[in-house]
Amino acid sequence: MTDKINPLITDYMDPWTSERVKNILQPTEEELIYFVKLMQLLNQKRKLSEKFDYNPSVVLDDFLYHGTINHARNMNLLRDLNIRHIINTCHVPLEEEIIKTFNVLWIDMQDEEDVNINQYFEKTNDFLLSCKEKKEKVLVHCQMGISRSSSIVLAYLMKYHHDTLMKAYDFLLDRRSISCPNPSFLMQLVRYEKKLRNSEEIDSQKNNDDKQNSIKTLNIPNTSNFEWSFD
């Protein structure tokens, strides 16, 4: 991270975080510029977004849901939505009853800059693709549905539905406006896009986006009385 690039990210990354990301990932100038553009997109989308809906977000119709650990703990909600699979991306395990009732993939990790989230992308992508092929619904969550789970969802969207991280993030923000991977995770997603390009799994020149998924609003009864806990 060169000195001349630092001013570009002062509005999006505090000095302490910037130093950690610099030491851990040693981002290039190109990666930092992409990071800034992604954060600018986030800011633009948030200005346009309406009041946040506390129900789980529908990312891909009749398939992929994005939410919080409280959604994953709510048996009635999961059954109402006919969700059969769960990806838990936070350090807190789900209750035994949930694990016995649903197909749960637990990625035990903290929301910290020194976490290598990239190592999980292929595993979670394979899990999500398997659910998609079986035409069964899946919930991806972390503690609050902001950083860790958003990163996992973006990795899947990039590989199977969009040809750039920018397009995938734009798509996700329309469905869950609070989606915001921490700076290190976002930088790792930038590198994951490059990896997918090098392996020719995505190609922006072909404009190979899957735009068939419309935005659906959930209407779930009896969730307003559910207790929310963000410890």
Q: Which of 86-90, 156-160, 179-183, 213-217 has the lowest mean pLDDT?
A: 213-217
Long-range Cβ contact pairs of 189-192 (< 8 A, separation 24 or more): 189/151, 189/154, 189/155, 189/158, 189/165, 190/31, 190/34, 190/35, 190/38, 190/165, 191/31, 191/118, 192/118, 192/121, 192/155, 192/158, 192/165
| pLDDT for the residue numbered 59 | 96
Give me the chain's average pLDDT, please: 87
What does the pLDDT read at residue 19? Answer: 84
Q: Record the tokens describing residue 121, joined without a space.
A: 């992308």
Tell me, what's the pLDDT at 194?
Answer: 96
Structure tokens belonging to residue 180 = 């915001």
β-sheet with 57-60: strand ranges across:
57-60, 64-68, 137-142, 83-88, 103-106
**pLDDT tens, residue by residue, 88-99:** 999 999 999 999
Whether 226 is in a domain gets the answer no
The average pLDDT across 151-178 equals 95
Pick the catalytic residue: 90, 131, 142, 180? 142
At residue 70, the pLDDT reads 96
pLDDT at residue 228, as a whole number: 35
> Nearest-CA neighbor of 142 among 112, 102, 183, 101?
112
Q: How many domains does the chain have?
A: 1
Average pLDDT of the segment spanning 47-74: 90
Confirm whether 212 is domain-assigned. no
pLDDT of the residue at 206? 75
On whether residue 62 sits in a domain, the answer given is yes
Active-site residue flag, 131 = no
* Structural domain for 95, as ranges: 57-202
Give the pLDDT confidence of 107-135 residue by residue, as tens digits: 999 999 999 999 999 999 999 999 999 99
- Is 167 inside any structural domain? yes
Label residue 9 by pLDDT band (50, 70, 90).
Answer: confident
Burial class (CB within 10 angstroms; exposed 0-12, middle 13-18, buried 19+) of 176: buried
This prediction has a pTM of 0.88
Average pLDDT over residues 155-182: 95
Answer whether residue 50 is part of any domain: no
Question: Which residues are 57's β-sheet partners?
Answer: 66
Report the CATH number that the domain containing residue 159 is assigned in CATH: 3.90.190.10
How far apart, in whole angstroms, are the C-alpha atoms of residue 145 and residue 177? 10
Does residue 187 surpass a pLDDT of 90? yes
* Residue 20 belongs to some domain of the structure: no
Indicate the pLDDT class of residue 2, thresholds 50, 70 and 90. very low
Distance CA 153, CA 142 (A): 11
In a domain, 186, yes or no: yes
Task: Report yes or no on 63 lying in a domain.
Answer: yes
